[in-house]
Amino acid sequence: MTQLHNVQDAIKQAIDGGYDEATAKEAFDTGTEYAIFLDPLFWQALGKARGWPYMTTANIKGLKVEELDWHFFAEEWFETRMSNGDETKFWESLP
C-alpha cells in the first residue's frame, strides 16, 4: 500500500476508493479542505482504498482495539488535529 504523507495524498486515495471527486474539488476550491474529514464517506472510501477491514482486532499503542475500522482512524485524526499533533506522522502511520 502506498504510504500517505499529507492531506492531498489521503484525499486522492479516498477518491480512488470511491469518494466523490467533485466534493473534494469544491472543498479545495473554497479553502475548506479540512471539512472533508467531517464526512464519514471520506473515511469509508479511504478505508476501502487502503484495504482496512470493516472490523478486526488489533494491538495499537499497547491497547487491544476490538473494532478497528474507519471510525478508529477518524477519531485518531481528530485527536491529532485538536491537540496540534503531527499530521504528517498521523498519515504516515495509517495501515
Domain parsing of the chain, residue ranges? 7-93
- The DSSP output letter for 76 is H
The answer to whether the CB of 39 falls within 8 A of the CB of 15 is no
Q: What is the pLDDT of residues 36-67, one digit of tens each?
A: 999 989 998 999 999 887 655 555 555 555 55
What whole-number distance in Å separates Cα of residue 44 and Cα of residue 74? 10
- Stated pTM of the model: 0.80
What pLDDT does residue 58 have?
58
